[in-house]
Amino acid sequence: MRYCYFADYEIQLGDHLRVWGQATLVHTVAPGGELDPADVLTAIRRQAAGAHDVKPAQVRVRTVSRLD
């Protein structure tokens, strides 16, 4: 099954600078498998971290909305 998400996140760099961003994600679950919300959050953090060259642990997901 295919699930589409929109996420809003922030990244704090140092004491003052913050980066805000949005991401979309298409997450696929194998037939017969179950959706694991932790996998969705991990994928969003990894995608955002890659876009800003930071570690996934530095990404704070503020909201996640499923689009379909």
Report whether 27 contacts 39 (CB < 8 A).
Answer: yes
What confidence score (pLDDT) does residue 22 get? 97
pLDDT score at 45? 97
Where residue 59 sits, what CATH number does that domain have? Answer: 3.10.20
9-56 pLDDT tens trace = 999 888 877 899 999 999 999 999 999 999 999 999 999 999 999 999
Residue 37 is classified by DSSP as: H
28, 2 Cβ separation under 8 angstroms: yes
Taking every pair of C-alpha atoms in the chain, what is the biggest distance, in angstroms? 46
Give the domain range for residue 26: 2-66
Is the pLDDT at 66 greater than 90? The verdict is: yes
Q: Give the CA radius of gyration of the chain.
A: 13
Total domains, the chain? 1
Length of the chain counted residue by residue? 68
